[in-house]
Amino acid sequence: MNTDIKHIAALVATSIWADGEYDAAEKIVVEEIADAFELNAEDLSAAVEQELEVIKPMSEDEVNAYILEHSAEVEDEEAEMLLQAVLQVVIVDGVLGEEEVENVLSIASALGVDDARAVLMLADLVKEEPELQIEL
Amino acid sequence: MAVKKTTVKKTKDGKVDKRTKEGKEIAARMAKARAEKNSLKNRIKRLFK
């Protein structure tokens, strides 16, 4: 990955913030992201935890500005990879509902990934996860 | 082309502690299973097919 780890951590942290949990499951996903992006797992975990502390006192508007700021620094050719990482965090609780989808599409937009492409990526994910509960 | 405003929100579940101890254990097991089958890596590979 050419994108700085700080920006990767920021977007991963945002997804964790939106879902409201940072437990064993999320930590396993962060390690999986590190592995997929060939980053040091401890470095990424530490960076995510640092960004979670940055986000904690923010309002939703401030978090959205933060997402835009960090998304702008993601290398164009790595935007979809980052979005895949965000998806991995979003599904960690085993449930996919409208709010999660709206958040995914918002982050996709910030990353410059168009809706159609983001929806296809979601569909690809859902196909691979038969136990994922879809909350209509 | 109109620029879409980013509006990520905390999910309503994110505002409360939504997982029981058992739920957290299940989530961790499933996350581990996904990692072991390279779920994320495989989806990333498909992006570049």
- Residue A20 to residue B14, Cβ atoms within 8 A: yes
Render each residue's pLDDT in chain B as its tens digit; 49 residues: 444 556 888 886 665 556 788 888 989 999 999 999 999 999 999 988 7
Tens digit of pLDDT for each residue in A23-56?
999 999 999 999 999 999 999 999 999 999 999 9
Q: Which residues pair with A134 in a beta bridge?
A: A96
Question: What is the interface pTM, i.e. ipTM, of the complex?
Answer: 0.88
Contact list, A63 vs chain B (CB under 8 Å): 8
- Residue B24 to residue A128, Cβ atoms within 8 A: no
B36 inside 8 A of chain A by CB: no
B21 inside 8 A of chain A by CB: no
Helix (H) or strand (E) holding A133: strand A133-135
CA distance B37 to B40: 9
- Residue A24 to residue B24, Cβ atoms within 8 A: yes
> Which residues make Cβ contacts (< 8 Å) with residue A71, sequence separation at least 6?
A7, A11, A79, A107, A110, A111, A112
